[in-house]
Amino acid sequence: MSGLTAPKGTFDTLPPESARFLAVRETLTAPLRRAGYGYVETPVFEETAVFSRGVGESTDVVTKEMYTFDDRGGRSLTLRPELTAGLMRAFIEHRLYDGALPVKLWTAGSAFRYERPQAGRYRHFTQVDMEALGVDDPALDAEVVALGVQGFRDLGLTDYELLLTSLGDETCRPQYRELLVEFLAKLDLDEETRRRAEINPLRVLDDKRPEVQAQLGEAPLMVDHLSDSTRAHYDAVRQHLTDLGVTWTEAPRLVRGLDYYTKTTFEFVHGGLGAQSAIGGGGRYDGLSAALGGPDVSGIGYAVGVDRTLLAVQAEGLDIGVTAGVQAFVVPLGAEAKQLAVRLVGQLRQAGISADTVYGDRGLKGSMKAADRSGATHVVVVGDRDLAEGVGQLKDMRTGEQRPVPVGELFETLRASVEG
């Protein structure tokens, strides 16, 4: 053995837990497909500028957490720390804005951040990401939020909470920024935090250190300084959410960790995950396209952590993805029977039935153990004596009942038994 292991802060997802992982990812993406969102694949690395300009120069993601390297051509590339900026780059590069709007996209994949590994927070993680681009409509904001909620509902989660606020826009944020800068200037902050306050004072509100949070109790809130238009937008979003049966908690101090959010901003948290309670979130980002060199079009979306949602599923004791590995299993005893088993398993799979057989030289006892581990409800045992009689033994693993079936009828009988 070489002693090689997965890099620190990463992990392998293996059976049987991987079945739960896939089930969570499938359930989170199903509402997006039903709503007409189209699937997109983008590279797991981009030019570094995609994230430094898109995510924000002042964010911890850009300043501390990105995996950045120069390739052999001297180009600065970065493993994606999140998925939205790459999707927006693709939206701009391929001029998707020239078609019908909004453009509705979704993807799922890996992201990478260099941070201290801890429970529920890793350096390699998987997200489901969706974006609705090109239209600024409160009803679209509500659709996006509701689709996230639907994914959690479909999983059976109940101990989650939707936090909601508005971060204003260019019509009201400059005035609010001045108020916040004036407030922060009076606080006892370290030099790095003061520099951050000069670049993006909203980021200071997101500082998790107790000594900083203790001084922010009287900080002005963006939601109290919205312009008439952004207030009307936020009111409309909340009305549409009410109409969609979505409940939320007002979170006026909510600040997402990326710089591009405007107006509607939200986060999903789960009560069973301790301090690292966020399982997803998002919001509107009407300036992101322009920041990346594209047209000045609006957008809204969210990302949900598949790994973190799986932890929430486990915290609630839900049996997501706990299903039998296969439906049918064929146990051949002898070379001639092996040929029949391979053919029968192939026929079953082509018919849409999950099936497997024994590989390698095993006796009846070892083969039946393999059949039992497979989770199959029906097992066919075929030995030399059975073949001489032209039959196979079909066993219902749930009841223990066993009966002979003519070889020529094995496929249809087994298919009918499994589907029945």
Per residue in 49-90, pLDDT (tens digit) is: 999 886 766 566 777 789 999 999 999 999 999 999 999 999
Look at residue 132 in the predicted model and tell me its pLDDT.
97
Look at residue 110 in the predicted model and tell me its pLDDT.
96
Which residues are part of a known binding site for L-histidine? 82-84, 113, 127, 131, 256, 260-261
Query: Which residues fall within 8 angstroms of residue 156, CB to CB, at 6 or more apart?
Result: 313, 316, 318, 320
Distance between CA atoms of 311 and 274, rounded to whole angstroms? 11
For the beta carbon of residue 67, count every other beta carbon within 10 angstroms.
Answer: 15
More confident residue, 253 or 322: 253
Lowest mean pLDDT among 15-19, 45-49, 195-199: 195-199
Token look-up 């370290």 returns 190
Look at residue 362 in the predicted model and tell me its pLDDT.
83
Write the CATH number of the domain with boundaries 16-171+227-316.
3.30.930.10
Residue 22 has pLDDT above 60, yes or no: yes
How much is the average pLDDT of 10-38?
A: 94
Look at residue 56 in the predicted model and tell me its pLDDT.
66
Q: Residues 186, 172: contact at Cβ < 8 Å?
A: no
- Under the banding of pLDDT at 50, 70 and 90, the label for residue 2 is low
pLDDT digits (tens, 9 = 90+) for 374-412: 999 999 999 988 999 999 999 999 999 999 999 999 999
Look at residue 174 in the predicted model and tell me its pLDDT.
87
Query: Which residues fall within 8 angstroms of residue 365, CB to CB, at 6 or more apart?
Result: none
How much is the average pLDDT of 150-163?
A: 97
Record: fold of 328-419? Rossmann fold (3.40.50)
The pLDDT mean for the chain works out to 91
pLDDT digits (tens, 9 = 90+) for 173-218: 889 889 999 999 999 988 888 887 887 788 788 787 899 989 988 9
Residue 1 has pLDDT above 60, yes or no: no
Distance between CA atoms of 143 and 37, rounded to whole angstroms? 12
How much is the average pLDDT of 234-247?
A: 98
Range from 1-10, 62-71, 145-154, 382-391 that averages highest in pLDDT: 145-154
Look at residue 202 in the predicted model and tell me its pLDDT.
81
Residue 322 has pLDDT above 90, yes or no: no
Percent of the chain having pLDDT more than 90? 72
Lowest mean pLDDT among 46-60, 205-219, 295-309, 318-332: 46-60
Which residues are part of a known binding site? 82-84, 113, 127, 131, 256, 260-261
How much is the average pLDDT of 287-315?
A: 93
Return the domain boundaries, the chain: 16-171+227-316, 328-419
Look at residue 259 in the predicted model and tell me its pLDDT.
61
Residue 117 has pLDDT above 80, yes or no: no
Look at residue 52 in the predicted model and tell me its pLDDT.
86
- Under the banding of pLDDT at 50, 70 and 90, the label for residue 15 is confident
Residue 145 has pLDDT above 60, yes or no: yes
Look at residue 201 in the predicted model and tell me its pLDDT.
85
Residue of 386, 376, 65, 59 lying closest to 200 (CA atoms): 59
Q: Residues 340, 332: contact at Cβ < 8 Å?
A: yes
Give the burial class of 13: count Cβ atoms within 10 A of its Cβ; 0-12 exposed, 13-18 middle, 19 or more buried: middle
Look at residue 257 in the predicted model and tell me its pLDDT.
58
Look at residue 68 in the predicted model and tell me its pLDDT.
94
Look at residue 363 in the predicted model and tell me its pLDDT.
86
Look at residue 324 in the predicted model and tell me its pLDDT.
62
More confident residue, 103 or 177: 103
Look at residue 258 in the predicted model and tell me its pLDDT.
58
Look at residue 5 in the predicted model and tell me its pLDDT.
93
Give the neighbor-by-neighbor strand order of the sheet with 38-39. Answer: 38-39, 103-112, 124-133, 299-305, 278-284, 262-270, 160-166, 249-250
Token look-up 């009846």 returns 364
**How wide is the angle at C-alpha 59 spanned by C-alphas 56 and 64, nearest 5°?**
120
How much is the average pLDDT of 305-331?
A: 90
For the beta carbon of residue 189, count every other beta carbon within 10 angstroms.
Answer: 18
